[in-house]
A = this chain, B = another copy of it.
Amino acid sequence: LSKAKRAKSAPLAILLETKATPYQDRGRNTFDAILVVAGELLAENGFEQLTTNKIAERAGLSPPALYRYFPNKYAILNEMAGRLMDLQDEAVFAWIEAGGMHASTLDETIEKIFASQMQANQITRDYPGGVSVMRAIRAIPLLHDTRLSSRDRVAEQLFLHLRCRSSRGSDEELRIAIRVSIELMYAAIEMVVGEPGPDDDKITHEACVMIALYFERFR
């Protein structure tokens, strides 16, 4: 019994990488459709109800088609998460390049951070199942690294740009300040995109005020 069991439970490690990469348009469409549909289903029912069979069905595919590209459902979620985080991160990097961090007054700082945060909100709204993806990768230990490496990448860029401008505080203090701020911004995104309401922009704005006020300390 034990032998048979061990022989069957082959996948000791769950792989998160995609398998085949599509070469033709048809394949690319399928690949993308899988991610979109998975996002929709995730938003509707949460991760534990997300199944490969349901994804395939709604995408108009037979189950094996999905396995051409993804080894399992964790890999699908991981790909969704990676793409969403990349979009969010690239927006921040572009914002830095465009001088988002050059502000002379407090009000200007607030408004610049606000512009960036509004953009992050919109990216998340537009992404299929965006906020559900963010929540799912927090809740699934297997996917923590994807989230943390994205956060750390952004944190490092912000650190490099802030260190030059900061006169007070050690590097360590600055790093902590940045980490806390990024987590606040994630929380703000999850708040307004996850439970939409009439005050969304105000909520976003106040989160930015908090961050801007706080970073006055490092000037």
Interface residues of A (CB under 8 A from B): 44-48, 132, 135-136, 138-142, 144, 148, 172-173, 176-177, 179-181, 183-184, 186-188, 190-191, 195, 199, 202-203, 206-207, 209-211, 213-214, 217
Report A180 CB to chain B, min CB distance, Å: 5
In contact, A191 and B202 (Cβ under 8 angstroms): no
In contact, A195 and B138 (Cβ under 8 angstroms): no
In contact, A177 and B191 (Cβ under 8 angstroms): no
Listed from nearest, the 10 A-B pairs whose CB atoms lie closest are A139-B139, A48-B48, A187-B187, A135-B139, A46-B140, A210-B214, A183-B187, A135-B138, A184-B184, A213-B213
A140 proximity list for chain B (CB < 8 A) = 46-48, 139
Q: How many copies does the complex hold?
A: 2
In contact, A191 and B179 (Cβ under 8 angstroms): yes
A214 proximity list for chain B (CB < 8 A) = 206, 209-210, 213-214
In contact, A45 and B203 (Cβ under 8 angstroms): no
A139 proximity list for chain B (CB < 8 A) = 46-47, 132, 135-136, 138-140
Q: For the complex, give the distance between the alpha carbons of A146 and B65 in Å.
A: 38
Q: Contacts A47-B48, A138-B135, A139-B47; is A206 near B188 (CB within 8 Å)? A: no
Report A35 CB to chain B, min CB distance, Å: 18
Residue of B nearest to A143 (CB): B46
Q: For the complex, give the distance between the alpha carbons of A203 and B47 in Å.
A: 30
Q: Pick from A138, A188, A199 the residue with the most CB of B within 10 Å.
A: A138
Q: For the complex, give the distance between the alpha carbons of A128 and B26 in Å.
A: 48
A138 proximity list for chain B (CB < 8 A) = 135, 138-139, 190
Contact residue among B46, B141, B180 (Cβ-Cβ distance under 8 Å from A188): B180
Q: Contacts A183-B187, A184-B187, A206-B180; is A195 near B148 (CB within 8 Å)? A: yes
In contact, A203 and B176 (Cβ under 8 angstroms): yes
In contact, B199 and A176 (Cβ under 8 angstroms): yes
In contact, B183 and A210 (Cβ under 8 angstroms): no
A210 proximity list for chain B (CB < 8 A) = 180-181, 184, 210-211, 213-214
